[in-house]
Each structure stands twice: as C-alpha cells, then as structure tokens.
Chain A
C-alpha cells in the first residue's frame, strides 16, 4: 500500500459516502436484526400477542426438547458425513478433469451442469428417482441383481439418500478446486519430476499441500451451508419418515412460520449461530496447522 499521500479529508468523506448504503444495510439488515433476534429469544411472543420477557426460559425449553436434539443430530449427520464425502468426490472430479487431454472441456462442462439445477426442481426430480416402485435408483439396483430400497420411506435410509443426491451437484466445488489446481506452478511439478518423484508422491507433496487453502475454504462454506439444509427436506420428505429428516432449519421454520413461536425460533436461530461460529473458529485455528498459504504476503 502506498503511504506517500496523506489522508485527504475529501477522499475520506467520499469513501464513507460510497460505502454508506452498505453501512445502512449492515445496520438495518444485519446488526440490528441480530440484536433484535437475541432479544426476542428471551421473550415469549406469538406475533399477535404482546411479547413477554421470560429470561432464559426458551433456552431451557429448547435444551429439554427431544425434537430439538433430534433435529440437531439429523443436521450434524448430514453435515459431517455429507460434506466431507461431497468434497472428496469434488476433488476426485477436479483431479480427473485437470488433464491436458483433447475434449477435456466437454467433460468439465458435463460434470458442472447438474450443479446448475435449481434445488426445487432437483428435489422433485430426485423424489422420482428414489421412487420405490418406478424410480431410476431401484431400476439400477434391480439391474445389477439387488433388491430395491425404500430410499425416502425408510427412516434409516432417508438421510443417506439425501447425501447421495447431493453428490450429483459436486460440479460447483469441482470448478473451484480446479481453479486451485490450475494455480499450482508447473515448475514445481517439473522440478519434482527431475528429482524422480512419481505421480503419487507429487500428489501428496505438491498438489495436496498447495490445494489446502481452496479445500479448507470450501469445507467451511459447505459446512455453513449444510447446517442450513432445508429445501430438500421440505419438498422431498417433509421431515419424515419418523422425523429422520427433520433438519434444524425445517424445525426452526415450523416453529416460526407455522406455529408463530417467535421467541422459541429466535433461540434456535441463536444456538445455530453459535454452533456455526464456533465451528468456523475451530476451523480457522486448525487451519494454521495444516493449511499452506503459498506466498500470501501481499500487504
């Protein structure tokens, strides 16, 4: 950064004028509502009735609510099993298309396109794919000689089915990881080849360490996103069977917009916020240990 010119008053004034819409937006749509939802979480409020201060009662109720714990378990299952697998497959796909082969562009496009499908259309399509009698998934199982499954009707299978469905849209993360792979300087590979390193050791010593910033960032974003999984469960299973896909956000949505328990729902929102925040913080602390930031000194 150049430090030659001193701060000009007119420049500072313009700077603040230009970011003014964002500052107002931050106060009106982020900071204000955050504080307000914290306040609401200490009240009992059904919108039509006046709100009553109840202290921490909503949180006590929440922690004694089996359904709350179940929704947290379901969401954690989806996050901690689904996200790492999703990222793993995205990495495999990125490695597969990171070759200088004729027609590789076609494959990149083909892998990316499914991730473009809107989640509502996607969900409806996969209800049909998972249809126990006439669906594609069971047609495939029967074709290879296995018995069909009750994918979305069996409480043990509903969450894995939604995770399998998520693999269809690995393309978005694949493109990000591919950009990361492309950013690795070729000289490193050439030098390693001269030193006699094979593909495997090049992968472990060069590719993976240099890709960790991209992997790490994707992991955090995907985890935060997956904690808020909603539409699939809302459209495909309505939280069932036997509440096995009652995800956190679905439960919160029902509390807020079907039962109008705004205090309870706000308490849930804050618990989720703290969980996501804690998790992000842990990730960042761990990242110092295993993320290798290449030449990141442009300050």
Chain B
C-alpha cells in the first residue's frame, strides 16, 4: 500500500504529536534529576527553576562518592548478584528441565505449586525466615540474600526456563539418549548450551532485582560496610537530605548502571517482561 492519502498523513501527524507530548512528560523527571545533580547548592533553590545549570558542577558526583562508600556498596551488590544468580540459574534450570522434559508422578500438581508460589505475598514467610537466619547467626551477612536462591532459584525463573526448554525440539534429547547420554548429560550438554538467551534474561533480571531490592537488605544488612546500593542511597539521604544536588547525583549514580545495562541487553529485557505477561495464560 504505497498510496497514502492526505487523511492518513494528517492522522500520523496527530499521532506523533500525542506520542511526543507523552514522551516529553515522562522524560521531564529524568531531565530534572540530571539538571539538579549538576547545579550549585544555591541554584537548586530557584523558582521558576533553571533547567540548564550554570556552571556545570561535575564535582557534585565526586563529592557524593566521597561522602559515603558507594564503591563498597557497589561491590557488595555485585557480589550478592553473582552468588545469588549462579544458584538461581543452576537450581531453577534443573527443576525446569525436569518439569519440561522428564515424566514423573505428580509432575503437573507440583508445577502448579511452583506457579502458585509466584502469587504468594513474601511477607507471610518473612518473620520465621528472619528468625531462622538470626538463629544461624546470618544477620548482617549476605547469606540470607543468597542461600534461598540455591533452593529452586525462584518460581518465576523456573517458569521462564520451562517455557524456553519447551521450544527446544525433543528429538535432540532422543538423539542424545540413543548415544547413551543420561538425563544429567542431556541437561548439561544439550539443553543448557542452547539456552543462552534465557540464561541472559535471568542474569539481567537478577541484577535488576538485587540492585533495586530494598526490603530484604534493610532487614538483613546492618553495618554500613555490608550495605547494598539501595540501602547505601537511603543512608546517604539520611545524612544529606537538604543537599538536593548531591542527592540527585547519588540517585543518578544508582539509576545510570541500569540504563547502561538496558541499552546493551535490551532484547533480554523485552523477552523477560513479555514472558512475565504470559505467565497468566
């Protein structure tokens, strides 16, 4: 259909105006964030606000990083992400392999049980879990944020893996089985090497989860040297709550890595989110 009528062009024009207006509205808070993060203290208190800082105070960022140990919080978060994600990937993919590829009694009810735990409000298990970790002496260590993920890796990840495994032709398993491979070998040698997209999706989401999570680190991590980025930013707010330029610089530092990750791993974001929408089917 090459012949576009004038009416279609006008409609497209109106559509672009609506789209741009919405994009501008949603972009404003981020522009405001960046703009404030580069202002002098005095310039943050202007009404109507000045959008372009004068001068650009890049030292706000170094000042914010000097004020609290964000580099430590960063490495703490990364360490939690790495150890939690390895456990989640291993145990969730193992379970998903069984649910997608092997037949055993009560497979369907057990999988339903997995799905139903996605809906469970985590608060109902929080207090006893906290007490168990406290009894084990794990409070103020990373273990409460890592160890649970080595036990099934989260119901949603099992679901993601299973969905993906079901798209891999069963003939591959059969061929490997004829060659004498056992189930563990099929899982490790046939299925996992084909599952890089879903592994990447889960890694990306694990990073986002640990980067953003506030409630659990708030409960389990007490001394500042163990804080994650989220808790560290909260601590920073407690100390510098009137210095908006510094607070915006620190907030930008917390947001920026996620945006960088998004632009490098966009397709894994999209596939993961879309899968989460399909969980209801």
A69 at the interface (CB under 8 A from B): no
Q: Which of B187, B212, B259 contacts A119 (CB 8 A)?
A: B212
How distant is the Cα of A34 from the Cα of B124 in the complex, in angstroms? Answer: 6
How distant is the Cα of A213 from the Cα of B91 in the complex, in angstroms? Answer: 30
Contact B29 A280 (CB under 8 A): no
Query: Shortest distance in angstroms between A166's beta carbon and chain B's nearest beta carbon?
Result: 13
Cβ–Cβ < 8 Å partners of A136 in chain B: 28-29, 32, 49
Please tell me which stretch of B53-61, B100-108, B193-201 contacts chain A, meaning at least 4 of its Cβ atoms lie within 8 angstroms of it. Answer: B100-108
Task: Using A25-B151, A128-B244 as known contacts, say yes or no to A19 and B98 having CB atoms under 8 A apart.
Answer: yes
Task: Using A114-B30, A120-B214, A213-B280 as known contacts, say yes or no to A18 and B127 having CB atoms under 8 A apart.
Answer: no
A286 at the interface (CB under 8 A from B): no
Contact A32 B47 (CB under 8 A): no
Which residues on A are within 8 Å of B, measured CB to CB?
5, 7-8, 11-16, 18-19, 21-26, 28-30, 32-34, 36-37, 40, 47, 93, 96-97, 99, 101, 104, 107, 109-111, 113-114, 116-121, 124-126, 128-129, 131, 133-134, 136, 138-139, 142-143, 168, 171-172, 175-177, 179-180, 213-214, 216-218, 220-221, 224, 227-228, 230-231, 234-235, 249, 252, 256-257, 262, 265-266, 269-270, 272-273, 276, 280, 293, 296
Q: Which of A22, A110, A180, A273 contacts B23 (CB 8 A)?
A: A110
Contact A118 B211 (CB under 8 A): yes
Contact A11 B127 (CB under 8 A): no
How distant is the Cα of A136 from the Cα of B151 in the complex, in angstroms? Answer: 46
B62 at the interface (CB under 8 A from A): no
How distant is the Cα of A159 from the Cα of B136 in the complex, in angstroms? Answer: 39
Contact B121 A116 (CB under 8 A): no
Q: Which of A21, A121, A138, A256 contacts B151 (CB 8 A)?
A: A21
B 143-171 binary contact with A (CB < 8 Å = 1; else 0): 00000101111000010000000000000
Task: Using A19-B94, A21-B151, A22-B151 as known contacts, say yes or no to A231 and B215 having CB atoms under 8 A apart.
Answer: yes
Q: Which of A142, A171, A216 contacts B48 (CB 8 A)?
A: A142
- Chain A CB count within 10 A is highest, among B104, B124, B153, B208, for B124
B 251-281 binary contact with A (CB < 8 Å = 1; else 0): 1101100110010001000100110111111
Contact B119 A220 (CB under 8 A): yes
Can you list 24 A-B pairs, Cβ within 8 angstroms, ordered by A? Answer: A5-B103, A12-B103, A13-B104, A18-B187, A19-B94, A21-B91, A21-B150, A22-B91, A37-B124, A47-B134, A107-B19, A113-B26, A113-B262, A120-B234, A133-B45, A168-B26, A175-B274, A177-B277, A220-B280, A249-B123, A257-B219, A269-B127, A272-B121, A272-B124
How distant is the Cα of A13 from the Cα of B148 in the complex, in angstroms? Answer: 24
Contact A19 B99 (CB under 8 A): yes
How distant is the Cα of A131 from the Cα of B243 in the complex, in angstroms? Answer: 13
Query: Shortest distance in angstroms between A32's beta carbon and chain B's nearest beta carbon?
Result: 7
Main secondary structure of the interface of A (DSSP, over half): helix
Closest 6 A-B residue pairs measured CB to CB?
Answer: A217-B280, A25-B151, A22-B152, A176-B277, A15-B104, A36-B128
Cβ–Cβ < 8 Å partners of A129 in chain B: 29, 32
Query: Shortest distance in angstroms between A20's beta carbon and chain B's nearest beta carbon?
Result: 8
Q: Which B residues between 1 and 57 are near A, CB-CB below 8 angstroms?
A: 12, 15-16, 18-19, 22-23, 26-30, 32-33, 36, 44-49
Q: Which B residues between 165 and 214 are near A, CB-CB below 8 angstroms?
A: 182-184, 187, 208, 211-212, 214
Contact A25 B148 (CB under 8 A): yes
